[in-house]
Amino acid sequence: MNQTKPRPLRTILKQLIRSQLLFPILIATVVVISFASYLGGQQIQNQQLNLSRSIAHNIHTFLLLTSNELIALSEVAQSNELDTVAAYMKANRMSHGIFDTFYLLNSSNTFANLWWKNL
């Protein structure tokens, strides 16, 4: 049971300086840490770019869907009676759930009818 005592750090550093390996090892360590930091930064940048593109795509899709729904709703409102428009609005709200409230304006821009989610 021969236990060896660990060598102190001071003696290890002195041996590295004597053999002229300390400075190359420090330089190599700094280069490796810098390279790892650069790669980590690039990865974080790519993740943020992909996340923002995904959010932008979802917003674009939502805006297209809502604009199509509003165009269809305006076409129905122009050419039909109030009961037909109300039925269409209720069906639209039940099927898509995009809009919480619908305001129907008459030709003088006053409220003709109002539908909200609880109705």
- Counting beta carbons within 10 angstroms of the beta carbon of residue 60, is it exposed (0 to 12), middle (13 to 18) or buried (19 or more)? exposed
Which of 44, 48, 113, 47 lies closest to 77 in space, CA to CA? 113
For the stretch 101-117, pLDDT in tens is: 777 777 787 777 676 66
User: If you average pLDDT over each of 40-49, 69-78, 89-98, which comes out highest?
Assistant: 40-49
Identify the residue whose tokens are 């996340």.
Answer: 51
pTM of the full predicted structure?
A: 0.59
CA 51 from centroid of its chain's CA atoms: 4
Residue 41 has a pLDDT of: 97
User: If you average pLDDT over each of 5-19, 25-39, 82-96, which comes out highest?
Assistant: 25-39
State the greatest distance between any 2 C-alpha atoms of the chain, in Å, as a whole number.
102
Mean pLDDT of 41-50: 98
